[in-house]
Amino acid sequence: MANLFYTTNAATIEPEKIVAGDRLIWKRTDLNADYDNSAFTLKYSARLEGSGSTEIEITASASGDDYLVEVASATTASYTVGTYRWQMYITRNSDSQRLTLDSGTWEVVANRDAATTDPRSHARIMVEKIESVLEGRADADVSCYSINGRSLTKIAIPELMEWRDRYKSDYLREVRKERARNGIATGSTVLVKF
């Protein structure tokens, strides 16, 4: 693995995941031919899904023929955890005219060194909760009851199993994605021998 503190080793695409409190660095090497970094400014703007008021703004700097994006650890430490929709735009310095060139999503995740929150994903939490309910219901044969005019109806076991399977599928997709990112076999490849 190359030393990622050196700008020469910076990724040439935007990150998919940002750890709050980690230094960010990447560069765009594909833009200078059309947008000379002495005449244009590259910026990113991202908004947290579900909260349009939470914004991340980043301005790239010129680095040779590249646009270099660097964000200090102290800055990312204040990022709110969640999914952000970002857009990359270029501004012509002479008249401030702007064009959106790219867009995507970033997942800002908690710094496990500083966060006291549960590190499990929503999908994993739901799988474990539903399985716990199913285990508790295995001995109970009452699906609804009424006491003093108040009634309670429990979710049917087949419906719980359907929800569990849905969340388990989501969780396995997360696990495979993480394993692929780390260069580990995902278990989704089928090997065939002739």
Assign 156 to helix, strand or coil. Answer: coil
Domain boundary at 54, 87, 109, which?
A: 109
β partners of residue 66: 63
CATH of the domain at 26: 2.60.40.10
Containing structural domain, residue 12: 7-109
Q: What is the pLDDT of residues 40-91, one digit of tens each?
A: 999 999 999 998 788 999 999 999 999 999 999 999 999 999 999 999 999 9
Confidence of residue 145 (pLDDT cuts 50, 70, 90): confident
**Tokens read off for 21:** 């409190």
What is the Cα–Cα distance from 45 to 184, expressed in whole angstroms?
A: 33
CA-based nearest residue to 121, from 178, 185, 55, 57? 178
**Given the DSSP bridges, would you call strands 17-19 and 61-63 parallel, antiparallel or unpaired?**
unpaired
Mean pLDDT of 21-28: 95
Predicted local distance difference test score (pLDDT) of residue 111: 85
Q: Which range in 9-13, 47-51, 94-98 is most confidently predicted, on average pLDDT? A: 94-98
What is the Cα–Cα distance from 14 to 60, expressed in whole angstroms?
A: 12
Share above pLDDT 70 across residues of the chain, in percent, rounded to a whole number: 95
**Residues whose CB is less than 8 angstroms from the CB of residue 175 and which lie 6 or more positions away in sequence, other chains included:** none
* Beta carbons within 10 angstroms of residue 107's beta carbon: 13
Could you identify the residue written with the tokens 């089928």? 190
Residues 103 and 16 in one domain: yes
- Count structural domains, the chain: 2
pTM of the model: 0.69
Query: 134 with 168: CB under 8 angstroms?
Result: no
In this structure, is residue 115 part of a structural domain?
Answer: no
Residues 20 and 95 in one domain: yes
Residues 94 and 126 in one domain: no
In this structure, is residue 30 part of a structural domain?
Answer: yes
Could you identify the residue written with the tokens 């929709």? 85
Predicted local distance difference test score (pLDDT) of residue 138: 67
What is the Cα–Cα distance from 41 to 35, expressed in whole angstroms?
A: 9
Element (H or E) spanning 130, and its range?
A: helix 122-137
Burial track 40-63 (b if 16+ CB lie within 10 A, e otherwise): bbbbbbbebeeeeeeebebebeeb
Domain boundary at 109, 135, 155, which?
A: 109
